[in-house]
Amino acid sequence: MTITVSAKFIRIAPRKTRLVVDLVRGRSVTDAEHQLLFSNKDAAKVVLKLLRSAKANAVHNYQLDPIKMKIAKAFVNEGPKIHRMTPKAHGSATPIRKRMSHITLVLDEMESAKMPDATISKTPRARNARAVKEVKN
């Protein structure tokens, strides 16, 4: 079961919003929520609100377990631009483009074989430590 949510006409540039969305793509919902809580980007607040909305929809509408959900797809499209002008030297003007974002998140259920294992760390340091222990033995 996939749940799709979107937020449109967000007044943050898509380039800045994509940085935040790239952090959470492919993660479990709880892991992505923790990642967004501690991110100090403005777009993280919007993406967190969207993620919590998707989680609430999954629980309320489809009776799904949010712990078994992951972010299958996450992307940011560019919305319309607000065009302004700023004065420059010799009576000329330069355009200012205020960009908007359309954010889309797609949640999907994780298969039981792909559930994250909390006991084994996937960080490079932990992998290297295991490799060093195996070599010593």
Residue 43 has, within 13 A of its CA and on its CB side, a CA count of: 23
pTM to 2 decimals?
A: 0.78
Return mean pLDDT, the chain.
88
In the predicted structure, residue 135 carries a pLDDT above the cut 90: no
Which run of H or of E encompasses 125?
helix 124-136
pLDDT at site 45:
97
pLDDT tier at 72 (50, 70, 90 boundaries)? very high
In the predicted structure, residue 121 carries a pLDDT above the cut 80: no
**Rounded distance, CA 78 to CA 83, Å?**
14
Q: For the domain bounded by 3-85+93-136, which CATH number is listed?
A: 3.90.470.10
Q: At what angle do helices 42-62 and 29-37 cross, to 10 degrees?
A: 150
Sign of CA dihedral 32, 33, 39, 42: positive
Percent of the chain at pLDDT > 70 equals 81
